[in-house]
Structure 1
Amino acid sequence: MKKLVLFSCLLIITACDPGETLVKYGGGNYVWRLVEVDGQPVTFSNEIAFGPHGSVNGTGPCTQFTAGQRAPYPWFEIELEDNITAPECTFSTQERKYFADLKDMQIVEVSGPNMVLTNEDGREMVFVGITDGG
């Protein structure tokens, strides 16, 4: 019983460590562009950046959004907020799918200027670093 309690406490402490998010593992080093979803090229403009304390900011051809991503690396769980704005145009089908796909991803891997989001169903989103995020 003591071992179970100790193990549970260690898991809670590790899960709460803000330094163990994808930013620590290179996710904050770049502003990222989605280039491929499930093997298909992405044709709309987009950017996403991961900042301190789990902050996420992004843009699309006519959207701006903020979100949270506080899951410990390598887990990915985006919390899209209600302030997705499209001031002068309507969301395209691709953008709606983009937000749905982001919410569907569960695991993140960052390797230099490459970032891949995946889920247990075998889906994949591939991003490349386009600018220095620091």
Structure 2
Amino acid sequence: MRMFLILASLVVLPQCQSDGTPDVYGDSGTTWQLTTLNGEAVTARATLMFPEAGQIAGKAPCNSFSGPLTADFPAFETGPIAATRMACPDLALETAFLNGLDQATTATVDAGILTLSNDSGATLVFKAAD
């Protein structure tokens, strides 16, 4: 009987755990607007959303994107990011933005500001859109 309870708890516990995405990053309707990328102000529109636990989506300067979020807060790690393939004058910024998302390893949220960073010093700073 004791062995059964141990095995049952091992099956149930992972299902009870959550990465906290909706709570930590705002609800599924929160849109985060990119304000700076590696210390440089960003004037083109680039957004990030967390539509459901374990997912990211948004609009880079040219294309829409989505993908899995594979780490629990405060760690930040994405799986492969899928994006549409339209050209625009801001493709270089888009590439830097999507690479930044891919290379981010840590997230912090404080007073409506989301910061994604990595050990190399790269940062993406977002403000919760009104």
1:61 positional shift: 3.1
**Structure 1 equivalent of residue 46 of structure 2:** 46
Normalised TM-score (structure 2)? 0.76
Give the secondary structure class of the aligned counterpart of 2:115: strand
What CA distance in whole angstroms lies between the structure 2 residues aligned with 1:86 and 1:56? 18
The percentage of counterpart residues that share the same residue type is 23
**Mapped partners of 1:101, 1:109: distance in 2:** 15
Q: Look up the match of 2:74.
A: 74
| Structure 2 partner of 1:121 | 120
Length-normalised TM-score, structure 1: 0.74
Q: Which residue of structure 2 lines up, in the alignment, with residue 7 of structure 1?
A: none
User: Runs in 1 of length 4+ with deviation above 4 angstroms?
Assistant: none
Which amino acid letter does the alignment assign opposite residue 69 of structure 2? Q
Task: Measure, in 1, the Cα distance between the counterparts of 2:100 and 2:81.
Answer: 15
Matches within 5 A, 1:93-108: 93-108=92-107
Distance 1:61 1:123, change over 3 A: closer
Which residue identity is paired with 2:77? Answer: E
Contact 1:53–1:70 (8 Å) recurs in 2: no
1:63 positional shift: 0.3
Where is the strand percentage greater, Structure 1 or Structure 2?
1
2:59 corresponds to which residue? 59
Instruction: Write the distance in 1 (CA, Å) between the matches of 2:103 and 2:95.
Output: 13
2:26 aligns with 28
Which AA in structure 1 matches 2:34?
Answer: L
> Is the 2:60–2:97 Cα contact (8 Å) retained in structure 1?
no
Give the 3 Å change call, closer, same or farther, for CA 113–31 of structure 1 in structure 2: same
Alpha-carbon displacement from aligned partner over 1:114-133 (angstroms, at most 9, x marks no partner) = 101111122221100004xx
Unpaired runs of at least 5, structure 2: 1-9
Q: In the aligned structure 1, how far is the partner of 2:63 from the partner of 2:80?
A: 13
Displacement of 1:51 in angstroms is: 2.2
Alignment of 1:79-98 (within 5 A): 79-82=79-82, 84-87=83-86, 89-90=87-88, 92-98=91-97
Mapped to 2, the partners of 1:126 and 1:68 lie a distance apart of 20
Equivalent-residue separation in structure 2 for 1:44 and 1:129 (angstroms): 16
- Unpaired runs of 5+ residues, structure 1, are 1-9
Please, what is the CA RMSD of the aligned residues?
A: 2.5
